[in-house]
Amino acid sequence: GNRLLVYDTSDGTLLQPLKGHKDTVYCVAYAKDGKRFASGSADKSVIIWTSKLEGILKYTHNDAIQCVSYNPITHQLASCSSSDFGLWSPEQKSVSKHKSSSKIICCSWTNDGQYLALGMFNGIISIRNKNGEEKVKIERPGGSLSPIWSICWNPSSRWESFWMNRENEDAEDVIVNRYFQEIPSTLKSAVYSSQGSEAEEEEPEEEDNSPRDDNLEERNDILAVADWGQKISFYQLSGKQIGKDRALNFDPCCISYFTKGEYILLGGSDKQVSLFTKDGVRLGTVGEQNSWVWTCQVKPDSNYVVVGCQDGTISFYQLIFSTVHGLYKDRYAYRDSMTDVIVQHLITEQKVRIKCKELVKKIAIYRNRLAIQLPEKILIYELYSEDSSDMHYRVKEKIIKKFECNLLVVCANHIILCQEKRLQCLSFSGVKEREWQMESLIRYIKVIGGPPGREGLLVGLKNGQILKIFVDNLFAIILLKQATAVRCLDMSASRKKLAVVDENDTCLVYDIDTKELLFQEPNANSVAWNTQCEDMLCFSGGGYLNIKASTFPVHRQKLQGFVVGYNGSKIFCLHVFSISAVEVPQVTGGTCPLSALARRTRSGKPGPLLVFSNKGKGGGRTRMKSLGDGEELVLRKYMFLFVVLPQDFLGSGDPKETKMLITKQADWARNIKEPKAAVEMYISAGEHVKAIEICGDHGWVDMLIDIARKLDKAEREPLLLCATYLKKLDSPGYAAETYLKMGDLKSLVQLHVETQRWDEAFALGEKHPEFKDDIYVPYAQWLAENDRFEEAQKAFHKAGRQREAVQVLEQLTNNAVAESRFNDAAYYYWMLSMQCLDIAQDPAQKDMMLGKFHHFQRLAELYHGYHAIHRHTEDPFSVHRPETLFNISRFLLHSLPKDTPLGISKVKILFTLAKQSKALGAYRLARHAYDKLRGLYIPARFQKSIELGTLTIRAKPFHDSEELVPLCYRCSTNNPLLNNLGNVCINCRQPFIFSASSYDVLHLVEFYLGEGITDEEAISLIDLEVPRPKQDNRQQEIANSSSQILRLVETKDSMGDEDPFTAKLSFEQGGSEFVPVVVSRLVLRSMSRRDVLIKRWPPPLRWQYFRSLLPDASITMCPSCFQMFHSEDYELLVLQHGCCPYCRRCKDDPGP
């Protein structure tokens, strides 16, 4: 069209259409600073707009504008038409124009803004300087048969050396061992590919800071050219072609580089946008369209792509590039530039690059093996030598076959493919040797070593099962089974312990032999055992690196990323796309001298004892003799030196004195601000309370829980103090562990309630019902404080607080009515009625509660129906059919008591009744409704419509359409639309039963059980299913937990013997009292269960029984609220809302 449309990319909304052109707009281009953009049109004009969407300049050419482009440096605008091109700059008012030998289709400026490339219809590329003078002319082989449809300069000017090195490379892919596959990353709808070449050592690139030279031969600008000879080619600024043409097999219409020049987008007649490498290797499809793609652009400095098509659609994609890598001990391999593999030695920092010509899909590395999966093959590399620092790889085998797998693992002589639940073992020649089928999806797999050809694999499944598989054994060994899915796992060096990270980010450590859970730690996303130390492991998560040695507390330090390996004192961590080695000291700075001194002390001979005390940087020496009675004096002096524990010198001293001395030394350490040493001494002296107080005051959670775990459960005072401090320090999990150890369940409940850990509290309440009140009452109050009143009411009810539950419901109901939310009011009234019915089981309150139950049930029915009337009169559109609104208004008019419930308007009911009656042909009823409205106060907005309706109804006949007259299914009497008796038959007084959605009268008759017949006996009699040979009415009931559905299908032989129930429908004519239908055991036995619907009310109410009298319709009854519906209406409403429209019971919830 001739308008320029400006969209917001965040949500796709149209900000503003810009008018200015008189014919179709062909092109648009933004300046690099985003302050201006230009548009060119078939009306031969160019308009320059500001970022505020205001036009500031317009100039014309002699022909239609084909393309426009802004100079990235000077913001000079180039506009090209069929016969010439113009250059406009903000500094000059005029536009300098230059003739062209052919139609210009596309144009592009170099990065420094010195040169402009023009692509022409005759297959020529003309490179001009910024003054318009031609410097280079490139002729494509196809000539006029290969129009240059799109060109683009690479934003990065440093690819020349890369191109020169790639020309004759024939390398395959490279991989790294420990299988560590894809951290989330994939194109929205894209797949990539790659090829290979020989590995070569990668040297660091030097920055080129030399100034740009005017000599074109020395410039590094790369021009990508897409022509309709279905080829893409690359040229230097000098006009020299780089490499060979690459075939596309479609007509390209647009080409665009990513901001850093590493990828190319290409779209055209193949109706899709494809991603290519910077050297023209296709990686995959970004998005498929329904018509030709005419333009595609990349958002600057991001991975967002916008695509425009022939059919007018604009698509916006985000590209996410994945990390494909692998690790084995100190060798790490990862994918680079999508088609290369780099192997890095983490110790020596050496790197080797394996360049490929296809997409690298998977990488795996193990010992001296490296496997790389490409789209159509798998390449296996090996090291040239056994040297641990050797980085020269050579191709060992090629498996020329396409594989689809989630995970890839390489062993000494085999390739392991993971395909969802299946593992396949292939030889290096591609022959499948073995296959294992798992019970669940495979989430993690790792090679744990072994002899060549007999390696072991560790496999973690989604169902929590962990298995060990040997490559040469068909049977998997189940190590253990846990309740949660496996995310990461590792086995200790001696293969006696197993560390697992589950889907709840918890690190669990098991003893493999006993299957015992040794310990667990929270906030973990990956875990690794130390390959040299049996009892050391590390795990990462939450921005921290955690190191645990044996049973000691966890040491934590800040670190971003994932732990992928732990070898000696080095921990390997992966962060985004890079891996780093973190040095972790195995001892503290003061451990070595103290350890040496302790050894010297223990090995010293009886007699003179030398003790050294270091003061600052200098040292001093004190000689003391420990002979006979002098031992006490030595200890007193040494206590103040505070170097080693005094018990080292006690020999056979008195234990009480030993405890006293240690306590004094701890007091002294506390006074000189050495709290950690004081804690250790207090623990040694058995003064746990003092140790706990110090830990609590300093916030040392790890030490507190360590003390609590070592204490005996009989020591209640220190345990209670521990739990109190842990609760204050926001460690409810450890506090709960301490309370459990004490057996103090009440304090545990209070802890869960105070910390709002409701799930744990509920689980405890299920096991110990005596705490139900302590849990649900605070929970209900918390819900009410957070405006979750419906859940609060249920919680009060569950806690046995009926009064509070009713109060919450009454408040909700009053609010709903006041806010005109009548559908909610109906729901709350129904809940109130069921609450009253529950309370009515108490004999003392039975009569009063049953009265309230029936009252609230009636109000719920009224508000449920009135909701549709209110929405019809307030909203501009109605979702209900006229027949439904007509039935609802009649139902309400006959059901309303003398005192109209709060919020219900008789004016709206009568207005709706009059309007729908007139539309459906019930003119007599409409006239009655208009007459009634004359006696009511009418809002101003209804007055005109009512006055007009009152006049026009006089022109209609004074009768009602017979199609609208309701029929009584008991006595077959046609009832008037306006019934003075209400919703009952005027002849037999039988109450009508209405559908809760359409409010039609249902073909049901309620019957009562004869004297002495219980509900259980009645059910057993009806369930006998006595066959009736001459009755061919086929009836079908589908009963399940979500609904009770009655279906009746009439056949041609529907006239059988007389039904005993039909005889019971007769009554004495002329009577004014209602005579209910009472059935005997004989009649019950004649009934079919498929004909009967039962409202199974809880005590103290009796069940209600209904018999269907028509075989041509089906009825559904909600098993929760016992409301009746036409089956089709009920199924549609449940499909729309996901629940019963009356009581909001979800379809999957079990019945009452």
Domain-by-domain residue ranges, the chain? 4-157+219-318, 482-587, 865-964, 1004-1137
- Higher pLDDT: 172 or 236? It is 236
User: Has residue 690 got a pLDDT over 50?
Assistant: yes
Q: Is this structure's pTM higher than 0.75?
A: no
Flag whether pLDDT at 989 surpasses 90: no
**Cβ neighbours, 10 Å, residue 424:** 17
CATH number for the region 482-587 comes to 2.120.10.30
Q: What is the pLDDT of residues 540-549, one digit of tens each?
A: 998 899 999 8
Q: What is the pLDDT of residues 1137-1146, one digit of tens each?
A: 888 888 888 7
200 forms beta bridges with 353
The per-residue pLDDT for 933 is: 85
Read off the pLDDT of residues 623-671 as tens digits, 9 standing for 90 and up: 343 334 444 444 444 444 444 444 444 444 556 666 666 666 666 666 6
Per-residue pLDDT at 5 exceeds 80: yes
- Spatial separation of the C-alpha atoms in residues 156 and 472, rounded to whole Å: 51
Read off the pLDDT of each residue in 326-344 and give the average, rounded to a whole number: 88
183 — pLDDT class (breaks 50, 70, 90) = very low
Write out pLDDT tens, residues 57-105.
999 999 999 999 999 998 899 999 999 999 998 888 788 999 998 999 9
pLDDT exceeds cutoff 60 at 127: yes
| Residue 927, H or E segment | helix 923-934
860-896: buried (b, 16+ CB within 10 Å) or exposed (e) per residue?
bbbbbbbbbbbbbbeeeebebeebbbbbbbbbbbbeb
457-471, 1046-1060, 1063-1077: range with highest mean pLDDT: 457-471
* Nearest of 529, 507, 509 to residue 517 by alpha carbon: 509
pLDDT band at 288 (very low <50, low <70, confident <90, very high): very high
Q: Which residue has the tokens 């993690």?
A: 444
* Gap between the Cα atoms of 1117 and 1134, Å rounded: 12
Examine the pLDDT at 732 and tell me if it is beyond 90.
no
Mean pLDDT of 501-507: 93
The residues pairing with 127 across neighbouring beta strands, listed in sequence order, are 117, 136
Task: Name the more confident of 729 and 1076.
Answer: 1076
8 Å CB contact between 184 and 113: no
**Percentage of residues in the chain having pLDDT higher than 90:** 31
Q: What is the mean pLDDT of residues 761-790?
A: 59
Coil, strand or helix at 619: strand
Q: What's the gap between Cα 791 and its chain centre?
A: 25
The residue-averaged pLDDT of 149-178 equals 51
In three state form, how does the secondary structure of 805-852 look? HHHHHHHHHHHHHHCCCHHHHHHHHHHHHHHHHHHCCCHHHHHHHHHH
State the average pLDDT over residues 447-464: 92
**Is 1081 in contact with 1013 (CB distance < 8 Å)?**
yes
Of 286-300, 355-369, 521-535, 1071-1085, which gets the smallest average pLDDT? Answer: 1071-1085
Query: pLDDT band at 570, cuts 50/70/90?
Result: confident
Q: Please report the pLDDT score of residue 1091 as a whole number.
A: 82
3-state secondary structure 738-785: HHHHHCCHHHHHHHHHHCCCHHHHHHHHHHCHHHHHHHHHHHHHHHHH
Sheet with 148-153: strands ordered across: 148-153, 222-227, 231-236, 241-247
For the chain, how many residues are written? 1152
Structure tokens at 375: 């789209």
Tokens coding 813? 């109901």
d(CA 112, CA 671): 70
- The segment with the largest mean pLDDT, out of 168-172, 177-181, 304-308, 1012-1016, is 304-308
CATH number of 4-157+219-318: 2.130.10.10
Task: Tell me the mean pLDDT in the region 180-203.
Answer: 30
In a 13 Å sphere around the CA of 849, the CA atoms on its Cβ side amount to 21
d(CA 739, CA 727) in angstroms, rounded, equals 11
- 345-388 pLDDT per residue, tens: 888 888 999 988 888 999 999 989 999 999 899 999 999 888 87
Q: Calculate mean pLDDT across residues 19-35.
A: 92
- What average pLDDT does this structure show over 105-121? 94
Q: Are 547 and 584 in contact (CB under 8 A)?
A: yes
Give the residue carrying structure tokens 């962060």.
575
pLDDT, one tens digit per residue, over 1091-1135 is 889 999 988 888 999 988 876 778 999 988 999 999 888 888 888
Q: What is the pLDDT of residue 481?
A: 92
**Given this model, what pLDDT does residue 718 score?**
74
- Output 749 or 623, whichever has higher pLDDT: 749
* Mean pLDDT to the nearest integer, 306-332: 89
pLDDT value at position 322?
83
**Whole-number average pLDDT of the chain:** 79
Pair 286, 189: CB distance under 8 Å: yes
**pLDDT over 90 (residue 1089):** no
Dist. CA 358–CA 373, nearest whole Å: 10
**What end-to-end distance do the CA atoms of the chain give, in Å?**
62
229-257 burial code (b ≥16 CB/10 A, e <16): bbbbbbbbbebeebeebeebebbbbbbbb
Please report which confidence band the pLDDT of residue 840 belongs to, taking 50, 70 and 90 as the band edges. confident
Higher pLDDT, residue 262 or 751 = 262
| For range 453-469, the mean pLDDT | 93
Instruction: Out of 619-628, 860-869, 1065-1074, give the one with best mean pLDDT.
Output: 860-869
User: In the prediction, which pLDDT does 765 show?
Assistant: 62
Average pLDDT, integer, range 446-470: 92
Residue 161 is given by DSSP the state: H
Q: Residue 525: which of 575, 588, 481, 568 has the closest Cα?
A: 575
pLDDT in tens, 964-975: 888 888 888 888
| Cα-trace Rg, the chain | 43
